[in-house]
Chain A
Amino acid sequence: MNHWLTAPILLPLLGGILQIFLSFAPLGLRRTLGLATTTLILVVSISLLLLADDGTYRVYALGNWAPPFGIVLVLDRLSALMLFMTALLALFCHIYSTRGTDAQGRHFHALFLFQLMGLNIAFLTGDLFNLFVAFEVLLIASYGLLMHGGGTARTVPGLHYVVLNLIGSSLFLISVGLLYSVVGTLNMADLAVKVPQVAPEDLPLVQAAGMMLLVVFALKAALLPLCFWLPKAYANATAPVAALFAVMTKVGIYAILRVYSLIFGDQAGPLANLGMDWLFPLALITLAFGVIGALGADGLRKLVAWQVIISVGTLLAAISLHSEASTSAALFYLLNTTWVVGGLFLVTDLIARQRGSASDRIVTAPRMRSRTLLSVLFLIGATAAAGLPPLSGFFAKVLILESVKPSAEMGWLWSVILVGGFLSVVAYSRAGSIVFWRNVEGHVKDPGHLTLPVTVSAGALISLSLVIVALAGPISRYADATAEQLHTPSAYIEILQTPVVSRGDSL
Chain B
Amino acid sequence: MEILFALIIGTLTASGVYLILRARTFPVVLGLTMLSYAVNLFLFSTGRLVTAGQPIIGSTENYTDPLPQALVLTAIVIGFAMTAFVVVLALRSRADTGDDHVDGQKEALWPEPGADKAPEETR
Q: Which residues of A contact B (CB under 8 A)?
A: 99-101, 103-104, 129, 133, 136, 140, 143, 147, 149-156, 158-160, 162-163, 166-167, 169-170, 173-174, 176-178, 180-181, 236, 238, 357, 359, 448
Distance in Å: Cβ of A477 to nearest Cβ of chain B: 40
Contact present for B122 and A104 (CB under 8 Å): yes
Dominant SS among interface residues on chain B = helix
Contact present for A159 and B32 (CB under 8 Å): no
Contact present for A101 and B121 (CB under 8 Å): yes
Contacts of A153 in B (CB 8 A): 115-119
Given A156-B107, A174-B42, A180-B46: A238 and B121 interface contact (C-beta under 8 Å)? yes
With beta carbons under 8 angstroms apart, the residue of A155, A160, A177, A238 that contacts B42 is A177
Contact present for A150 and B89 (CB under 8 Å): no
Distance in Å: Cβ of A99 to nearest Cβ of chain B: 7
The complex places the Cα of A101 from the Cα of B92 at a distance, in Å, of: 21
Contact present for B93 and A156 (CB under 8 Å): yes
Interface size class of B (residues with CB under 8 A): 35 or more
The complex places the Cα of A70 from the Cα of B107 at a distance, in Å, of: 50
Contacts of B48 in A (CB 8 A): 181
Q: Which residues of B contact A (CB under 8 A)?
A: 20, 25, 28, 32, 35-36, 38-39, 42-43, 45-48, 67-68, 71, 74-75, 78-79, 81-82, 85-86, 89-90, 92-93, 96-97, 102-104, 107, 114-119, 121-123
The complex places the Cα of A192 from the Cα of B123 at a distance, in Å, of: 52
When C-beta atoms are compared, the residue in chain A nearest to B41 turns out to be A177
The complex places the Cα of A163 from the Cα of B79 at a distance, in Å, of: 12
The 5 closest A-B pairs by CB, nearest first: A181-B46, A156-B104, A177-B46, A152-B96, A151-B119
When C-beta atoms are compared, the residue in chain B nearest to A150 turns out to be B119
With beta carbons under 8 angstroms apart, the residue of A100, A133, A152, A162 that contacts B121 is A100
Distance in Å: Cβ of A245 to nearest Cβ of chain B: 15
Contact present for B89 and A162 (CB under 8 Å): yes
Given A167-B32, A180-B46: A238 and B118 interface contact (C-beta under 8 Å)? yes
The complex places the Cα of A166 from the Cα of B28 at a distance, in Å, of: 11
Distance in Å: Cβ of A310 to nearest Cβ of chain B: 22
Distance in Å: Cβ of B75 to nearest Cβ of chain A: 6
When C-beta atoms are compared, the residue in chain A nearest to B95 turns out to be A155
Contact present for B93 and A155 (CB under 8 Å): yes
When C-beta atoms are compared, the residue in chain B nearest to A139 turns out to be B82
When C-beta atoms are compared, the residue in chain B nearest to A179 turns out to be B46
Contact present for A159 and B89 (CB under 8 Å): yes
Distance in Å: Cβ of A416 to nearest Cβ of chain B: 30
Contacts of B45 in A (CB 8 A): 181
When C-beta atoms are compared, the residue in chain B nearest to A130 turns out to be B74
Contacts of A133 in B (CB 8 A): 74, 78
Contact present for B75 and A160 (CB under 8 Å): no
With beta carbons under 8 angstroms apart, the residue of A152, A162, A238 that contacts B97 is A152
Contact present for B82 and A166 (CB under 8 Å): yes
When C-beta atoms are compared, the residue in chain B nearest to A151 turns out to be B119
Contacts of A150 in B (CB 8 A): 119
Best-surrounded residue of A136, A147, A166 (most CB of chain B within 10 A): A166
With beta carbons under 8 angstroms apart, the residue of B39, B79, B122 that contacts A103 is B122
The complex places the Cα of A401 from the Cα of B74 at a distance, in Å, of: 44
Contact present for A152 and B107 (CB under 8 Å): yes
Contacts of B117 in A (CB 8 A): 153, 359
Contacts of B90 in A (CB 8 A): 159
When C-beta atoms are compared, the residue in chain A nearest to B108 turns out to be A156
